[in-house]
Amino acid sequence: MVSLHVAKDCKSIISKNIIFYRKNLNLTQSQLAEKLKYSDKAISKWERGEAVPDIVVLKLLAEIFGIDLDTLCSEHCLGKSKPSHWKKHLIIALMSMGAVWAVATTVYVICSMIWADFPYFWMAFIYALPCSAIVLIVFNALWGKHIFALILVSILIWTTALSLFLSTPLSNNFLLFILAIPLQVLALLAFFLLLYTKSKSKQRKKV
């Protein structure tokens, strides 16, 4: 009877940990199943405590979650603090964006020293805006949330329009901002379509 109770406790602990760390990475059951090469039904069973993954799968889960196997299988206070991997992700993203601005600054300084009479090297900092947005979009696709993707895509659209506006000496270059409007609308529609698809997917799983 004692061993049976221990087994139930172990299932409960592992199931809670899988749910917590999966949600902390913003992964659906289907996405986690795809990473493990398992079905989402298996993930659902594990999270309901109806079954426990074998040791090989537990090790893979721990690697995906960025924790050790002991943490995955141990009871601890969930929800009070997130695992530290998000800090690492944030630092990597900020360092990459910082590299973009370092390149822009280098271009500005060197070119201004060599061609002092040319007054437009400050545009390097304007071009760094859409480049930074692209870098953050890539990292957000790996680790971030959909709402951040919408914000970053919007920033990319309008900073690209600004860059082209300042770079184009045409009298009607303001039309570039009008061109950005339908692109922004498309980004919003894509975002709401994604939310709708996720909502439908959750409803099917509940059924």
Alpha carbon distance 166, 126 (integer Å): 9
Residue 206 pLDDT greater than 80, yes or no? no
Flag whether pLDDT at 4 surpasses 50: no
- Please name which of 7, 80, 77, 2 lies closest in space to residue 49, comparing C-alpha atoms: 7
Lowest mean pLDDT, pick from 8-12, 26-30, 125-129, 186-190: 8-12
pLDDT in tens, 147-184: 888 999 999 999 999 999 998 888 888 999 999 999 99
Q: Span 13-22, mean pLDDT?
A: 90
Q: Give alpha helix (H) positions in 25-84.
A: 29-36, 40-48, 55-65, 69-73
* Residue 207 to residue 115: CA distance in whole angstroms: 68
Which of the given ranges, 28-32, 140-144, 197-201, has the highest pLDDT on average?
Answer: 28-32
Taking 70 as the threshold, does the pLDDT of residue 3 lie above it? no
pLDDT, mean of residues 43-47: 89
